[in-house]
C-alpha cells in the first residue's frame, strides 16, 4: 500500500523508509518560527533547558507581527526580548518593523519554507506553508523551545482527508471561498488531527496566493496540516526564491485516505462565514444586506498581492460608504511596495480607506481596528469567534477581498456583481 503525501514527508524527516497513520515518530525540523506573542514564552523555556546555542541559526525565524508596530509598553518589552535573544544566539532570520511582514506571508516570500520539509511554528496558522507542499503545523511555545534546542519534535502521523475541487469557478470565487466552503461542509472539528490534502483541476489553476489562503485555514477545520501537492505553479513561485535545495514530495497513487470529497464549484457563489464560527458558512446572497461598521482587508489569510489587486479592482473610482471604516493591511513590506508601484495604495486612499504597515493587528483584536460593543465587521481574516476582534458583544463575518471591498462601498454585505456602476 502506498503512502500519502503527509506520510512520505514525515518519513523523510524521521529518516525512515515509510510511515503510516497513527505511528509515533521523531522528526527532524527544517524550519521553526515564533512571533511576539509566542516566542518570549519559548525563550523562557529554552533557558530552562540549559543549552547555550540554538540547533541551527539559519533554521529559526523570529518575527514580531501581532502587536507591531508596538501598541503599548508590554508589546514593546516582548519584542525587545525577542531581539536580544536573536542577537545573543546569532539567529539570522529576525525581522523588525520596516523589514518584517506577517509571518505566514513573509517566510514564503523569503523562500524559507519549501516543498517536502517539516515546518513548525508557535502559531496555529503555520499550516499556511502546506500550499508549497511542506508538512507545516502549529505547536505550543514549549515545543518551539525544544525544537530551538534540539532541532527535533515528535509527531503522531495523521490520517489524510483528500478534497478535490472540480468545475469552473466564477470570476469572484477564489481560494477564500473554496476553504470557507470546505470548513462549512466539514465543521471546525471535521478534520481533527488529520492532514487535509487539496487537489483537482480548480486547485491546479489557482495561483499561489489563493493556495496560501486555502492552506492557511485548514486549521479552522481542525486539521493538523493543509497540503497542496507541488506542481508547475509551485515551482515557478520558488524559482529564484528558494533559500536552499528542496525535494518535491507527493503521495503515491495507491495511498489510502481516511475520507475523500469531490465538489463541483461551477455554480458556487462567494462564501461568507457568519458569527460565531468559521463553519457557519453561507452563500453571500443569503447574508446580503447585513449592515456593517468596519471592513478589514489583510492578514496572513488575505493580505497578498492578488488579494490587494482584487480589492482595488472593486474600489477603483468608488468611495467607501460613510458609515464604514475600511482598513487595508498589506502582509509584507515587499507587498506594500509593490502595491505602491502599481498604484493600488492610491486607489485605496482615494476611496477613503486607511492603509497600514504590515501587522496582524485587528485580526486577533490586537490593535488598529478594535470593535466596540454592538459593532459588526466583515474581514478577510480567518476567525470570527466571540470577541475575536474586540468587544465580546461585537460580531465578525469572514469573506474574500472582493466581497469585503464591495461591502465597504455598499455599507452592507454585498456580492461584487451587485455593485454595478454605482460610484
State mean pLDDT over 47-63: 95
**113 and 147 belong to one structural domain:** yes
282 & 258 share domain: no
Task: Give the residue from 262, 292, 313 where a domain finishes.
Answer: 262
- Assess whether 383 and 289 both reside in one domain: yes
Assign 182 to helix, strand or coil. Answer: helix
Q: Please name the residues in contact with 420: beta carbons below 8 A apart, sequence gap of 6 or more.
A: none
- Are 258 and 298 members of one domain? no
At which of 215, 235, 262 does a domain end?
A: 262
Predicted confidence (pLDDT) at residue 420 exceeds the cutoff of 80: no
**Are 235 and 375 in the same domain?**
no
Q: What is the pLDDT of residue 423?
A: 44
Residue 143 and residue 222 in one domain: yes
| Co-location of 221 and 349 in the same domain | no
Domain span including residue 303? 271-419
Q: Specify the pLDDT at position 214.
A: 98
- Are residues 247 and 279 both part of a single domain? no
Q: Could you give the strand order of the β-sheet that contains 294-297, starting from the edge strand earlier in sequence?
A: 281-283, 271-273, 395-398, 376-379, 294-297, 325-328, 354-355
pLDDT tens-digit readout, 175-214:
999 999 999 999 999 999 999 999 999 999 999 999 999 9
- CA 81 to chain CA mean position, Å: 25
What CATH number has the domain bearing residue 142?
A: 3.30.499.10
343 and 401 share a domain? yes
Q: Model confidence over 347-393: pLDDT tens digits?
A: 999 999 999 999 999 999 999 999 999 999 999 999 999 999 999 99
Q: Is residue 251 domain-shared with residue 295, that is, in the same domain? A: no
Average pLDDT over the chain, rounded to whole?
97
CA atoms within 13 A on the CB side of 37: 17
pLDDT in tens, 286-295: 999 999 999 9
Q: 148-172 pLDDT, tens per residue?
A: 999 999 999 999 999 999 999 999 9
At residue 361, the pLDDT reads 94
- Look at residue 422 and tell me whether its pLDDT is greater than 60: no
Model confidence pLDDT, tens digit, residues 340-353: 999 999 999 999 99
Q: What is the pLDDT of residue 34?
A: 98
* Overall average pLDDT of the 136-150 stretch: 98
Amino acid at each position: 500500500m502506498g503512502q500519502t503525501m503527509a506520510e512520505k514527508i514525515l518519513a523523510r524527516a524521521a529518516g525512515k523508509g515509510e510511515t503510516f497513520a497513527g505511528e509515533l515518530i521523531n522528526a527532524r525540523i527544517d524550519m521553526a518560527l515564533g512571533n511576539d506573542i509566542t516566542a518570549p514564552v519559548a525563550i523562557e523555556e529554552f533557558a530552562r533547558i540549559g543549552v547555550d546555542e540554538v540547533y541551527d541559526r539559519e533554521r529559526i525565524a523570529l518575527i514580531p507581527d501581532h502587536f507591531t508596530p508596538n501598541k503599548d509598553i508590554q508589546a514593546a518589552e516582548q519584542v525587545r526580548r525577542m531581539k536580544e535573544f536573536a542577537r545573543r544566539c546569532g539567529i539570522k532570520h529576525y525581522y523588525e518593523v520596516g523589514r518584517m511582514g506577517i509571518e505566514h506571508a513573509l517566510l514564503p516570500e523569503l523562500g524559507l519554507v519549501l516543498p517536502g520539509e517539516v515546518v513548525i511554528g508557535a502559531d496555529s496558522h503555520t499550516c499556511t506553508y502546506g500550499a508549497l507542499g511542506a508538512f507545516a503545523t502549529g505547536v505550543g511555545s514549549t515545543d518551539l523551545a525544544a525544537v530551538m534546542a534540539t532541532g527535533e519534535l515528535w509527531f503522531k502521523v495523521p490520517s489524510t482527508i483528500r478534497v478535490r475541487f472540480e468545475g469552473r469557478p466564477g470570476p469572484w470565487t477564489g481560494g477564500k471561498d473554496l476553504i470557507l466552503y470546505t470548513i462549512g461542509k466539514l465543521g471546525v472539528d471535521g478534520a481533527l488531527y488529520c492532514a487535509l490534502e487539496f487537489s483537482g483541476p480548480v486547485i491546479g489553476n489557482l495561483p499561489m496566493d489563493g493556495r496560501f489562503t486555502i492552506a492557511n485555514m485548514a486549521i479552522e477545520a481542525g486539521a493538523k496540516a493543509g497540503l497542496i501537492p507541488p506542481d508547475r505553479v509551485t515551482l515557478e513561485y520558488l524559482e529564484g526564491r528558494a533559500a536552499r535545495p528542496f525535494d518535491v514530495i507527493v503521495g503515491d497513487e495507491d495511498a489510502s485516505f481516511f475520507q475523500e470529497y469531490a465538489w463541483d464549484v461551477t455554480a458556487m457563489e462567494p462564501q461568507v462565514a457568519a458569527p460565531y464560527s468559521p463553519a457557519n458558512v453561507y452563500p453571500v446572497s443569503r447574508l446580503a444586506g447585513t449592515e456593517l461598521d468596519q471592513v478589514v482587508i489583510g492578514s496572513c489569510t488575505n493580505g497578498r498581492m492578488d488579494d490587494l489587486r482584487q480589492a482595488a479592482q472593486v474600489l477603483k473610482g468608488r468611495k467607501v460608504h460613510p458609515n464604514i471604516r475600511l482598513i487595508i493591511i498589506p502582509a509584507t513590506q515587499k507587498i506594500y511596495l509593490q502595491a505602491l508601484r502599481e498604484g493600488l495604495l492610491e486607489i485605496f486612499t482615494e476611496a477613503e480607506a486607511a492603509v497600514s504597515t504590515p501587522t496582524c493587528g485587528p485580526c486577533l483584536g490586537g490593535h488598529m481596528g478594535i470593535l466596540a460593543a454592538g459593532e459588526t465587521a466583515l474581514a478577510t481574516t480567518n476567525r470570527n469567534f466571540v470577541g475575536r476582534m474586540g468587544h465580546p458583544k461585537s460580531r465578525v463575518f469572514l469573506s474574500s477581498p472582493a466581497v469585503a471591498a464591495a461591502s465597504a462601498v455598499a455599507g452592507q454585505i454585498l456580492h461584487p456583481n451587485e455593485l454595478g456602476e454605482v460610484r
